[in-house]
Amino acid sequence: MTTTTIAGVGRLHDSVVDATELPRIIQVTDNLYAAAFSLMKLLPARFIIDRAEAAGLLRPGSRVIETSSGTFALGLAMVCRLRGYDLTIVGDSAIDRDLRNRLEMLGATVEIVEYAGQSGGIQGARLARVEELRRLHPDSFVPGQYDNPDNPGAYAVVADLIGETVGSVDCLVGPVGSGGSTGGLAAALRPADPALHLVGVDTHGSIIFGSPDGPRTLRGLGSSIHPGNVRHSAYDEVHWVTAPEAFHATHELFRNHGLFMGPTSGASFQVASWWAAHNPDSKVVMVLPDEGYRYQSTVYHAEWLREQGIEPAPAPGGPVTVDHPLDAPSSWTRLVWARRGFGDVMTPEVHDLGDVMTQEAHGLGGPTTPEVRS
């Protein structure tokens, strides 16, 4: 149906952040819906700064220090520019020239950490540098996206939006980095839908869900540290996807549905479309964190893909299901996490499944097996 009038729907936004921080909710297939953000990290950046202001932690001209090599840096730089705070971003080589240029145009100071020879890899080195800067500037504010509960807390408004537009949701699929978006959305949706099936999408080489630490071509999701905001017991299912599959899915999302999004959106779409196809009676919402413009000369560029030796390709036959993260092959892998703690999954001989069954008996746990029908 074509909308012929806009009377009554217009709203004057007080800033570009206010205008763009919320996703568009789009029906992609019969039972698959997208929460498509322009720049998802604007939302936690704005929310965390609001909360810090309310708590008296920021004054005009205050210094904000954060580590990020991606979209959280950009979101924070936009918010800090509009609110008049000095921002220092501690990142690594994943901050490409164009992103660095944008951050600096917004007035941010960008520090690149090169050294990875300590625990937690380059992410650990970045966090150590933030601590050093915090000691040098005791009045500064560190948003701390990995541990700050205001990161997941920012997504309650998106859960309301999904509730208003989609109604009751059976399954939520999203990429996991800090854990803020998937964790925050599930926490806000579950009071109404306790059985909501939460599927986290990660990549091989990320330690979040127990894969051994290693190099990662698919960036923006995954981590070499354990973010405090990843509450493992919230997840029903975890998938590890590879760069060639996720890049292929990113292209398919644009080719077939006109959604021009980044590679973590492709990863989310890869898993969500598989889940939706296998559960036709379930309503599935997938999180699509950012638009494709930042990736035009990489993920969308044939020459870059060739240089990296990556041929975007679908994973034939869907994921391989394993019982333990260390059994994951190097291809698309799925594990029924069943709302267990990290230790319960990694050392099941110590923390046997009895814990999960006890939780279920008390109505606390989610489904231990998804309704996959083929």
Ligand X SMILES: Cc1ncc(COP(=O)(O)O)c(C=O)c1O
If one asks whether residue 290 binds ligand X (CB under 6 A), the answer comes out as: yes
CA nearest to 178, candidates 133, 128, 230: 230
At residue 257's C-alpha, the angle toward residues 311 and 189, to 5°, is: 105
Query: What span, in angstroms and rounded, lies between the C-alpha atoms of 371 and 374?
Result: 9
Whole-number minimum distance, CB 115 to ligand X, in Å? Answer: 22
If one asks whether residue 91 binds ligand X (CB under 6 A), the answer comes out as: no
If one asks whether residue 289 binds ligand X (CB under 6 A), the answer comes out as: yes
3-class secondary-structure state, position 288: strand
- Binding piece for ligand X, criterion CB under 6 A, among 134-142, 177-185, 278-286, 303-311: 177-185
269 within 8 A of 253, measured Cβ to Cβ: yes
If one asks whether residue 180 binds ligand X (CB under 6 A), the answer comes out as: yes
If one asks whether residue 244 binds ligand X (CB under 6 A), the answer comes out as: no
Determine which helix (DSSP H) or strand (DSSP E) holds 87, and give its type and residue range. Answer: strand 86-91
- Tokens representing 122? 């380059």
Whole-number minimum distance, CB 12 to ligand X, in Å? Answer: 29
- Binding piece for ligand X, criterion CB under 6 A, among 6-14, 24-32, 178-186, 249-257: 178-186
Out of 72, 209, 247, 275, the only residue in the binding site for ligand X (CB under 6 A) is 72
Cα distances from 150 to residues 144, 163, 164, 181, 374, in angstroms, run 9, 21, 23, 11, 39
If one asks whether residue 121 binds ligand X (CB under 6 A), the answer comes out as: no
If one asks whether residue 70 binds ligand X (CB under 6 A), the answer comes out as: yes
If one asks whether residue 181 binds ligand X (CB under 6 A), the answer comes out as: yes
Q: Closest CB to ligand X among 229 and 273?
A: 229
Q: Closest CB to ligand X among 144 and 279?
A: 144
State which of positions 207-226 bind ligand X (CB under 6 A).
220-221
| Chain residue whose CB lies nearest ligand X | 177
Q: Look at the block and give the residue holding tokens 């698959």.
A: 32
Q: Closest CB to ligand X among 205 and 220?
A: 220
If one asks whether residue 264 binds ligand X (CB under 6 A), the answer comes out as: yes
Please, which residues bridge with residue 199 across strands? 173, 237
Q: Closest CB to ligand X among 248 and 356?
A: 248
Cα distances from 127 to residues 69, 209, 242, in angstroms, run 12, 20, 26
Q: Closest CB to ligand X among 110 and 356?
A: 110
Q: Closest CB to ligand X among 21 and 356?
A: 21
- Binding piece for ligand X, criterion CB under 6 A, among 17-25, 46-54, 173-181, 314-322: 173-181
- Binding piece for ligand X, criterion CB under 6 A, among 96-104, 180-188, 278-286, 352-360: 180-188
Site string for ligand X, 34-63 (x = CB under 6 A): -------x----------------------
Whole-number minimum distance, CB 35 to ligand X, in Å? Answer: 12
Give DSSP secondary structure letters for 123-150.
Answer: HHHHHHHHHHHHHH-TT-B---TTT-TH
Query: What span, in angstroms and rounded, lies between the C-alpha atoms of 282 and 237?
Result: 15
- Side by side, the strands of the sheet bearing 171-175 are 24-27, 32-36, 284-288, 171-175, 197-203, 237-241, 333-336, 320-322
3-class secondary-structure state, position 154: coil
If one asks whether residue 179 binds ligand X (CB under 6 A), the answer comes out as: yes
If one asks whether residue 206 binds ligand X (CB under 6 A), the answer comes out as: no
Q: Closest CB to ligand X among 38 and 62?
A: 38
| Residues composing the chain | 374
If one asks whether residue 175 binds ligand X (CB under 6 A), the answer comes out as: yes
CA nearest to 338, candidates 326, 349, 328, 348: 348
Q: Which residues bind ligand X (CB under 6 A)?
A: 41, 70-72, 175-182, 220-221, 262, 264, 289-290
